Chain A
């Protein structure tokens, strides 16, 4: 607690308005700028007075306060004992008095504007005297019992003190926003805290006083606990120091990739927890063990090779018949003593994986959009932003700083050229022709790559029927897809040189094309896979018959020998159907693993070995390798981010059929983090054009959202329209996979719940609901447009008003709050659209499921997927 007697007029420290007016600025600054003379207090006080020009009486009075404050700061700087000495000098009572009066003065100063200070000061003196009397009474008898104290404090006083306490609390809460130096803030804070502490306990009445004080103390402890917990949470953020180091070397754009990677890791960890805890662990602990039923056992024919590494690497053999894949799970309705409904859990976990990912992505997009408030008028301030915000304060490396200087210079020159040449007439026709040509070439490339993948997948199906396939033929699909992913993007870049776009637009085109490439490849792969699945399904009938006849014959044959009880047929000998879901799962897992390997090898060869080569061969090479051709590589942000997004898309697609896939991805992201951090720091150089990562964040999130939807579609299609295999997986024996839901509703819930669902799924109810949602979208859209218009109006008002000299901070506050509202609207609209789309899909699904008429079922299914 501070014991230094603060003179009563120290009120100018406490202006509350968040946007400082010029007066604050002037007086605050002048105090700090002038070197404080080393002589003692009184002469310098007068000197300070005479030094500054006084305009009004009020300001003069304030200047005196400034002077004394200046001196006080110096004293505090030099000796802290001075405070203690003064406290002893002035005595306890006087100090209390001074504090109270100064606090009272502070409160009144805030309420009155500068012009009303005079009247306020006159009033002050009277009130101060009254208060002193009261407070003297209070402070002079601390030993008197509580009851007599409270009687002496009147209601008025209580209210006033409570007001002051509230104000002090407000100061404490907002003190971080004040642009004062640390010393001042500490002083004010200590005073405010002392005051609050002193009077807080006293404001309760009678017995309530102790409880009140106790409550306050608990409150404080809670706040302290929350703050410590927040600090602890910050320390728990993984890899924070690594990322900061990368940021200082390479700028914030490269670091944004690693932050994205970390975020992905978190999402995957949650998904892994869901799947592992709710699906894998119950089946492993409570389900039938390995080898007990046919679906969980390696068939006799494959048994001898089941442990070979090459077989395991292809995810056949023992791995195929493990909890990692769909085919292992039993279709028992309940398992274990907990009566855990595994098929239901499997289905719900699959759905909630998508639900959770959707929620997390949209939330992240919304919060990104919130941070950039009032983006609409960003284009108006190009030069100002270039001047004031282009320096990346996170750069801590001379080489990067050099690059940053160069890029700032270039960007200034670019903008100047843009500005000067507004009517630059180019040969429009030539440019257009070249652009059309470039797009045509690129579309040819995309089609070519799509066809190549289709062809290769078809060939691999034929290979799988042959014996003695070489390693290359087995892995042809994955190799071709990875090679395409490696070589097509540079090809696109070279073709794009024809187009002659502005670099920012060119980058967007490039990203869009790479996106189209990956998407096309993935969907072609899926289509080819679907063909394979349908083939397997058509064979199922035949195999079912074979299995039934085999079992029948086996048990019938056993009736001939009554004396020797034959054991039931060993699970490995039962003829098995080809489990198409497990096949699909295996394909996705193999694709993911090969993608991981290709990424790591590319980094190792393309970045690390290249850096080694440039570094060590430079001594004996004709030209300067570091400046010339190979040189060190730059970190390819967009390529890496897109790779991450597509990897996640594959995980989403494959996790329903291979629950272990998410675990593999978690491991991959973990190793990727460490590996890429090391690779970046050791082999890469900062970009020549160091650019900011600001707006790109939402762009990548938008891509992720799109990929999420696109990966939802195939899974939804297979769930809705394909028959599950008859002898493997948790849905075996059902007509459709989602049949598990109506079964659960019938068997486990009371009957009225089933009736409720039937009513909800009625088309008469769903269609009006959809119409209502469409209306809601229209309404929110028009509201947000209206707010944007209001924003523009207010902005114009600011300009008009500020010309008249009225302080504009209030208007600015209005605009600030309006623009915040607007920005809250737009991501909300996007979120609502996505949520509505998913609700539509779900309601269609529910409708389809619960309708019993077959023809109605076919008509209702609007997706063009049925045959």
Chain B
């Protein structure tokens, strides 16, 4: 997938969507990932998965350590440690509603649903195989169709 090759969070995406947590995905996980990232997925669903991606230590909270890792990945280490610390502090100040020093899912959702571009930027540009599979759940025929096209493309 060319779109994910340069993505700073590609390992996290793979981990979140895989069953065993190590990044090995079955076909169903693969389809899952595409269905969440397609343009048809509802906003709340995307927000939920985005939260899981940014939660590096899987403790259901985005704590300052997670934030630091995010910033480092985003800037590829170009910022100084003080700048990184300042950014994390500002994020917690802005988004933490229940004042526990870290972002819970509620805080994250509350903040992300105000972002104007979140929905669009989280929609990955997928090939035709997934564009036709608009409903992520129903219709085994759709899934068979995408499986067959995957065989052709992958």
Closest residue of chain A to B27, judged by CB? A182
A692-B75 contact in complex given A176-B41, A395-B6, C-beta closer than 8 Å = no
Smallest CB–CB gap between B34 and chain A, Å?
Answer: 10
Contacting residues, chain B, for A809 (C-beta < 8 A): 106
Chain B residues closer than 8 Å to A366, beta-carbon distance: none
Confirm or deny: B63 has a beta carbon within 8 angstroms of a beta carbon on chain A.
no
Nearest-CB distance from A83 to chain B (Å)? 14
CA distance A389 to B76 in the complex (A): 16
Is B123 positioned at the interface, with any CB of A under 8 Å from its CB? yes
Which of the residues B104, B116, B125, B137 comes within 8 Å of A186, measured between beta carbons?
B137
> Cβ of B122: which chain A residues have Cβ within 8 Å of it?
393
Point out the residues of chain B lying under 8 angstroms from A384, CB to CB.
91, 94-95, 111
User: Hey, what's the 0/1 contact readout for A147-191 against B, CB within 8 Å counting as 1?
Assistant: 000000000000000000000000010011111011101100100
B87 to chain A, nearest CB (A): 6
Once A22-B104, A182-B136, A396-B125 are accepted as A-B contacts, the answer to whether A405 and B35 lie under 8 Å apart by CB is: no
For residue A32, CB closer than 8 A to chain B, the reply is yes
Contact of B135 among A19, A33, A176, A395 (CB under 8 A): A176
Q: Is the CB of B9 within 8 A of A391?
A: yes
A189 touches B137 (CB 8 A): yes
Known: A179-B49, A182-B32, A185-B137. A389 touches B112 (CB 8 A): yes
How far in angstroms is the closest Cβ of chain B from A62? Answer: 17
Decide if B79 touches A412 in the complex (CB within 8 Å).
yes
| B90: contacting residue among A20, A175, A419, CB under 8 A | A419
Determine the chain B residues whose CB is within 8 A of the CB of A26 once the complex forms.
Answer: 60
Write out, one digit per residue, whether chain A residues 11-47 have a CB within 8 A of any chain B CB (1) or not (0): 0000000111010011001001111100000000000
Q: Is the CB of B97 within 8 A of A397?
A: no
CA distance A419 to B91 in the complex (A): 13
Q: Shortest distance in angstroms between B114's beta carbon and chain A's nearest beta carbon?
A: 5
| A389-B115, A401-B6 known; A409+B78 contact, CB < 8 A | yes
* B residues near A695, Cβ cutoff 8 Å: 116
* A396 to B126 alpha-carbon distance, docked (Å): 11
B35 proximity list for chain A (CB < 8 A): 182
Q: Could you say which of A115-123, A227-235, A348-356 contacts chain B?
A: A227-235
Which of B67, B125, B132 contacts A387, CB < 8 Å? B67
Closest chain A CB from B76 CB (angstroms): 5
Q: Please indicate the chain B residues that have their CB under 8 angstroms from the CB of A694 in the complex.
A: 116-117, 120
Which of B76, B79, B97 is the most central at the interface, judged by chain A CB atoms within 10 Å of its CB? B97
Contact B109 A19 (CB under 8 A): yes
Nearest-neighbour CB distance to chain A for B146, whole angstroms, equals: 11
Q: Could you give, for residues 28-45 of chain B, a 1 whenever the CB lies within 8 Å of some chain A CB and a 0 otherwise?
A: 110110010100111011
Indicate if the CB atoms of A416 and B83 lie closer than 8 Å: yes
Interface flag for B124 (CB, 8 Å): yes
The yes or no answer to A248 lying at the interface (CB within 8 A) is: yes
Residue of A nearest to B71 (CB): A387
B8 to chain A, nearest CB (A): 7
B74 close to A (CB within 8 Å): yes
Measured CB to CB, the closest approach of chain A to B70, in angstroms, equals 6
A32 to B21, CA, bound (A): 7
A812 within 8 A of B: yes
Question: B118 on the interface (CB 8 Å rule)?
Answer: yes
A391 B121 Cβ-Cβ under 8 A = yes
A385 at interface by CB-CB < 8 Å: yes
Whether A540 is near chain B, meaning CB under 8 Å from some CB there, is no
Cross-chain contact A175 with B137 (CB below 8 angstroms): yes
Minimal beta-carbon separation of A222 from chain B (angstroms) = 15
A-facing residues in B1-35 (Cβ within 8 Å):
2-3, 5-9, 19-22, 26, 28-29, 31-32, 35
Q: Given A32-B21, A395-B3, is A383 in contact with B94 using a C-beta cutoff of 8 Å?
A: yes
Q: Please tell me if B56 contacts chain A, counting CB pairs below 8 Å.
A: no
B7 touches which of A186, A393, A416 (Cβ 8 Å): A393
Q: Bin chain B's interface residue count.
A: 35 or more
Interface size counted on chain A using CB atoms at 8 A: 84
Q: Which residues of B contact A34 (CB under 8 A)?
A: 21
Question: In the complex, how many angstroms separate the beta carbon of A233 from the nearest chain B beta carbon?
Answer: 11
B117 touches A692 (CB 8 A): yes
- Roughly how many angstroms separate A419 CA and B83 CA in the complex, as a whole number? 11
Contact B28 A181 (CB under 8 A): yes
Are B70 and A692 in contact, CB atoms less than 8 angstroms apart?
no
Question: Cβ of A834 < 8 Å from any Cβ of B?
Answer: no
Contact B3 A394 (CB under 8 A): yes
Cβ–Cβ contact B106 & A247, under 8 A: no
Asked if A496 is an interface residue, CB under 8 A from chain B, the answer is no
Asked whether, in the complex, the Cβ of B94 is within 8 Å of the Cβ of A413, the reply is no
- Contact of A397 with B32 in the complex, beta carbons under 8 Å: no
Q: Which of B40, B41, B74, B105 has the most CB of A within 10 A?
A: B74
Chain B residues, Cβ within 8 Å of A19: 44, 106, 109
A383 and B90 contact, CB distance less than 8 A: yes
Q: How far is the CA of A177 from the CA of B135 in the complex (A)?
A: 10
Contact in complex: A413, B83 (CB < 8 Å):
yes
> Cβ of A472 < 8 Å from any Cβ of B?
no
Given contacts A374-B114, A389-B118, A398-B5, contact A176 B109 (CB under 8 A): no
Inter-chain CA distance A339–B24, complex, in Å, is: 73
On whether the beta carbons of A182 and B31 are closer than 8 Å, the reply is yes
Q: Which residues of B from 54 to 104 have beta carbons under 8 Å from A?
A: 54, 58, 60, 67, 70-71, 74-76, 78-79, 83, 86-87, 90-91, 94-95, 97-99, 104
A231 touches B87 (CB 8 A): no
CB A437 to nearest CB in B, in angstroms, measures: 36
Chain A positions within 8 Å of B22 at CB level:
35
The complex places the Cα of A802 from the Cα of B44 at a distance, in Å, of 19
Interface mask (A484-519 → B, CB under 8 Å = 1, otherwise 0): 000000000000000000000000000000000000
Binary flags per residue of B120-154, CB closer than 8 Å to A gives 1, else 0:
11111100000110111110100100000000000
Question: Would you call A604 an interface residue if the criterion is a C-beta within 8 Å of the partner chain's C-beta atoms?
Answer: no
Flag whether A423 is at the interface (Cβ < 8 A): no
CB neighbours (8 Å) of B19 from chain A are: 32, 36, 73, 77, 181
Q: Which residues of B contact A372 (CB under 8 A)?
A: 116
A248-B3, A405-B75 known; A808-B45 Cβ under 8 A: no
Report if A528 contacts B (CB, 8 A). no
A679-709: CB near B (< 8 Å → 1, else 0) gives 0000000000000101100000000000000
- Decide: B137 and A252 in contact? CB cutoff 8 A: no
List of A residues within 8 angstroms of B136 by Cβ: 176, 182, 185
Chain A 393-417 near chain B by CB (<8 Å), digits 1 or 0: 1111110110001001100110110
> Which residues does chain B contribute within 8 Å of A462, judged by CB atoms?
none
Check B113–A392 contact: CB distance below 8 A.
Answer: no
- Is B78 in contact with A172, judged by CB distance below 8 angstroms? no
Contact (A416, B115) CB under 8 Å given A29-B58, A176-B42: no
User: Which residues of chain B come closer than 8 Å to A248, judged between CB atoms?
Assistant: 2-3, 125
On whether the beta carbons of B74 and A394 are closer than 8 Å, the reply is no
**When the two chains form their complex, are residues B75 and A412 in contact, meaning their CB atoms are under 8 A apart?**
yes
Decide if A179 touches B45 in the complex (CB within 8 Å). Answer: yes
11 contacts between A and B (CB under 8 A): A183-B28, A186-B140, A372-B116, A387-B74, A388-B111, A391-B74, A398-B5, A401-B6, A409-B78, A798-B97, A802-B97
Beyond A244-B125, A386-B87, A405-B75, 5 additional pairs, beta carbon < 8 A: A77-B26, A398-B6, A408-B75, A799-B97, A808-B97
Q: Give B residues with C-beta under 8 Å from A.
A: 2-3, 5-9, 19-22, 26, 28-29, 31-32, 35, 37, 40-42, 44-45, 48-50, 52, 54, 58, 60, 67, 70-71, 74-76, 78-79, 83, 86-87, 90-91, 94-95, 97-99, 104-106, 109-125, 131-132, 134-138, 140, 143
Cβ-closest 9 pairs across A and B = A401-B6, A396-B2, A383-B90, A396-B3, A182-B28, A802-B98, A694-B117, A182-B32, A409-B75
